[in-house]
Amino acid sequence: MIEILKKMAPQNFNDTLCLVLIILTVALWIMTGQGIVTLPESVVGATIVTWTLLVQYYFRKKSNEGG
């Protein structure tokens, strides 16, 4: 169990930053949906773009060497 948690934990600064941004983005979406926070449409659009870029970065295909 501990080994699984070590693999899932952020390994470097980029991973930590990504995790913070994902948590912040989801929290903003939830608070906006509940009416706690009112965000302009442009900010909501920016969070969607941020989310998309993070997903693309971490789930992109790795290219094979030599091919």
In a domain? residue 38: no
- Determine if residue 66 is left, alpha or beta; phi over 0 gives left, psi from -120 to 50 gives alpha, anything else beta: left
Domain contains 50: yes
Q: What is the pLDDT of residues 23-59, one digit of tens each?
A: 999 999 999 999 999 989 999 999 999 999 988 887 7
Domain interval for residue 55: 12-23+44-59
In a domain? residue 34? no
Q: Are 2 and 24 contacting, i.e. CB atoms less than 8 angstroms apart?
A: no
User: Which of 8-17, 22-31, 58-67 has the least mean pLDDT?
Assistant: 58-67
Residue 32 domain-assigned? Answer: no
Number of domains in the chain: 1
Is residue 28 included in any domain, yes or no?
no
Residue 37 lies in a domain: no
Q: What does the pLDDT read at residue 29?
A: 92
Q: What is the pTM of this model?
A: 0.70
Q: How many angstroms separate the Cα of 24 from the Cα of each of 3, 12, 13, 58? A: 27, 19, 16, 17
Structural domain includes residue 48: yes
